[in-house]
């Protein structure tokens, strides 16, 4: 089942919440919609589901326009953030609810429910009420209900945000496996960039009513369309610094040691530079008068060390090193760039140039 959004616009009382959204989703694709809260990602999902009206534009499923179609006739299923389980029904009846309402034959319902329960490994819990299940199990009941409906398009609205961190990691791979096994076209809404990066085939980044970028996870990471996307993806966060462009040597200078080379000629003086923390480096300096920054904070994560430092010109940088370091706040360092960096236009904030190595 392929899906197409064409110039989708949604307004509430004349105030637009989404403007000119265009996207194409292929059959069997895991498509993540990512953005900060309030960016309209859930609204987009609900328009596709048929739960709210489309103000303007066209949505197609398999090439067929579905704008006026009722939710039930769109042949899709949805998993909600709060799981939307009926508290008064046990697991089995929760999964069978929609099938019963559609008056499916008893035999078929039984078969589907059993199959779905097996898929999510909950066969032993079918008599339980939702309140007697853990968060992860409830989540799986919701997944089982989606499986039982046999729809080939599945929409998920932040399905993992109510789970604890460890369970979230586990469910990520389970959902991905399920999607592959059933050949689902899955639209997955999340505010968590790691979820999107690890699960999706393609990611749509939404912010401020507009699509910022649609690309593969690596495409988004390696070539962010603008400062927002660069800022949103990657952990720890990218360093956004201001620098001056020198046309004679195609260099952008942030301070006396922190410089990057750009791959093309630019026409402005001031630019915004994005350098990922792992593309920064530093060495410790004994003399307090030298170097270009003082260490503010050190986080040792075991496999890596995150150092945050204050440059002498007042900007803060985060630097990641892939080893354990003994360095303390207050120490002087010389912070430098390893080479890879993004250059953004100071006004429009979109990507102006890329720097690859010095």
Binding site for other proteins (CB under 8 A): 46, 49-51, 70-73, 76-78, 80-84, 86-88, 97-98, 101-102, 149
Q: Which is nearer to other proteins, 2 or 81 (CB)?
A: 81
**Closest CB 193 distance from other proteins, rounded Å:** 24
SS (H, E, C) 34-101: ECCCCCCHHHHHHHHHCCCCCCEEEEEECCEECCCCCHHHHCEEEECCCCCCCCCCCHHHHHHHHHHH
**Closest CB 126 distance from other proteins, rounded Å:** 18
Taking Cα atoms as reference points, which of 358, 266, 259 lies closest to residue 313? 259
**Closest CB 79 distance from other proteins, rounded Å:** 9
Q: Which is nearer to other proteins, 81 or 231 (CB)?
A: 81
**Closest CB 74 distance from other proteins, rounded Å:** 8
Q: Which is nearer to other proteins, 69 or 327 (CB)?
A: 69
| 295 alpha carbon, distance to own chain's centre | 31
Taking Cα atoms as reference points, which of 162, 207, 154, 213 lies closest to residue 180? 154
CA distances in angstroms from 230 to 19, 60, 137, listed in the order given: 22, 31, 35
Q: Which is nearer to other proteins, 80 or 288 (CB)?
A: 80
Q: Which is nearer to other proteins, 92 or 340 (CB)?
A: 92
CB 260 within 8 A of CB 275: yes
**Closest CB 88 distance from other proteins, rounded Å:** 3
**Closest CB 142 distance from other proteins, rounded Å:** 9
Q: In what order do the strands lie in the sheet with 351-355?
A: 259-261, 251-253, 239-246, 270-275, 341-344, 351-355
Q: Which is nearer to other proteins, 28 or 98 (CB)?
A: 98
């Amino acid at each position: 089942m392929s899906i197409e959004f064409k110039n989708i616009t949604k307004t509430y009382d004349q105030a637009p919440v989404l403007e000119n959204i265009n996207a194409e989703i292929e059959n069997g694709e895991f498509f993540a919609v990512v953005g900060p809260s309030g960016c309209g990602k859930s609204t987009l999902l609900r328009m596709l589901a048929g739960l709210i009206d489309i103000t303007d534009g066209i949505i197609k499923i398999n090439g067929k326009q579905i704008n006026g179609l009722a939710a039930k006739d769109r042949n899709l299923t949805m998993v909600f953030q709060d799981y939307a389980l009926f508290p008064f029904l046990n697991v089995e009846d929760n999964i069978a609810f929609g099938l019963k309402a559609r008056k499916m034959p008893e035999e078929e319902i039984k078969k589907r429910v059993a199959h779905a329960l097996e898929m999510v490994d909950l066969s032993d819990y079918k008599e339980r009420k939702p309140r007697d299940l853990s968060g992860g199990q409830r989540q799986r009941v919701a997944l089982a209900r989606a499986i039982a409906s046999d729809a080939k398009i599945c929409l998920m609205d932040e399905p993992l945000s109510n789970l604890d961190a460890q369970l979230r990691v586990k469910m990520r791979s389970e959902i991905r496996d399920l999607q592959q096994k059933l050949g689902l076209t899955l639209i997955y809404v999340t505010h968590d960039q790691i979820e999107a990066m690890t699960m999706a085939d393609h990611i749509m980044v939404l912010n401020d009513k507009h699509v910022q970028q649609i690309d593969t996870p690596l495409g988004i990471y390696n070539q962010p369309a603008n400062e927002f996307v660069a800022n949103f993806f990657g952990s720890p966060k990218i360093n956004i610094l201001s620098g001056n462009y020198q046309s004679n040597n195609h260099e952008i200078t942030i301070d006396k040691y922190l410089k990057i080379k750009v791959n093309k000629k630019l026409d402005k003086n001031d630019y915004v530079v994005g350098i990922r923390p792992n593309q920064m480096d530093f060495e410790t300096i004994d003399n307090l008068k030298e170097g270009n920054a003082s260490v503010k904070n050190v986080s040792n994560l075991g496999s890596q060390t995150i150092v945050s430092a204050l440059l002498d010109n007042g900007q803060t940088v985060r630097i990641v090193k892939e080893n354990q370091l003994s360095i303390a706040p207050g120490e002087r360092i010389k912070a430098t760039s390893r080479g890879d960096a993004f250059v953004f236009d100071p006004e429009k904030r979109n990507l102006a140039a890329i720097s690859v190595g010095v």
